[in-house]
A = this chain, B = another copy of it.
Amino acid sequence: VSPAGASLVNGEPQELVSIRDRGLQYGDGLFETLRCEGGAIRWFDRHLARLRLGCERLGLAPPAGPLLRAEVEALVKGAPRALAKIMLTRGPALARGYRPHGGERPTRIVSAYPWPAPAAGPFRLELSPVPLGCNPQLAGIKHLNRLEQVLAQRAAAGMGCDEVVMCGSEGEPVSGSMSNLFVAHHGEWLTPPLTRCGVAGIMRELVLALAPRAGLAVRVAALTSAQLAAATALIVTNVRLGLQPVHCYQGRPLLVDERGAGLQELIDGTP
């Protein structure tokens, strides 16, 4: 892999952007976190589809998929495994204030990171003291307004856990701060809908698509905090963690569904 920190800005090796960039000024943009293996991006079409949905919501021109893919793959060439991040902003502001001018030229930022060492010890989950603000127009997409997740992870550090469950404005569990959530419930796995808040994760999508082939019943269903509190098994997902069994929720040990490993294998084998 190129050294940690290798980056391209609009295709040029570069580590800097303008302070006028609306990505910095307002969080006016989107991002994707990609798993790269053997120099290739996994599940790129799904990432691109989410990025394009985000562009539609924000009124940005959709990026060219082949160009994005080539830029990422140039940075992770030769690495058995790496993480990459794409940021796409509306670009440097052409006028002061929130209102887009309309003529902005998007900023495309691609960076590679070494694959992180897996955390040692049991995976600990707690309930976030930070809620998720609800806005259907921002729900599902992976935009750059992530202060709630930052504050939730700051709280997680204080609680000495790996991840926290964040709830929407009705107190309903929605997702982790950096992951989606699956809750064992009467022989099924349930994952909350993401129509009011939360990010529609690629690993969540893969779980929903492939679970039946692994003999698992998984569906999208609203959860109550009581169902969460009573669950005997929990899984959190993202492209880095894959299907991560939660070993301990609010200090309570949980069971691990061994069928998760089979589903993981199936997902890992899916282009």
| A interface residues, Cβ below 8 angstroms from B | 5, 7, 9, 14-28, 31, 57-59, 83, 87, 89-90, 96-100, 102, 109, 111, 113, 116, 130-138, 143-154, 156-157, 169, 177-178, 197
Contacts and interface: CB of A to CB of B under 8 A. Distances in A.
A23 to B, nearest CB: 5
Given A96-B83, A130-B135, A130-B137, A150 B28 contact: yes
B130 A98 contact: no
Nearest to A9: B19
Given A135-B131, A152-B98, A154-B99, A146 B147 contact: no
Contact of A135 (B18, B22, B132, B146): B132
Given A145-B146, A147-B26, A156-B99, A135 B133 contact: yes
A138 to B, nearest CB: 6
A42 B267 CA distance: 59
Given A100-B154, A135-B130, A135-B132, A87 B19 contact: yes
A177 B99 CA distance: 10
A147 B145 contact: yes
B197 A133 contact: yes
A121 to B, nearest CB: 17
Contacts of A31: 25
A18 B19 contact: no
The winner among A26, A111, A153, A157 for most chain B CB atoms within 10 A is: A26
Contacts of A137: 130-131, 148, 151
A258 to B, nearest CB: 28
Contact of A146 (B27, B57, B59): B27
Contacts of A111: 19
Contacts of A22: 150
A24 B23 contact: yes
Contacts of A83: 96
A215 to B, nearest CB: 33
A26 B28 CA distance: 10
A110 to B, nearest CB: 10
A29 to B, nearest CB: 8
Contacts of A153: 97-100
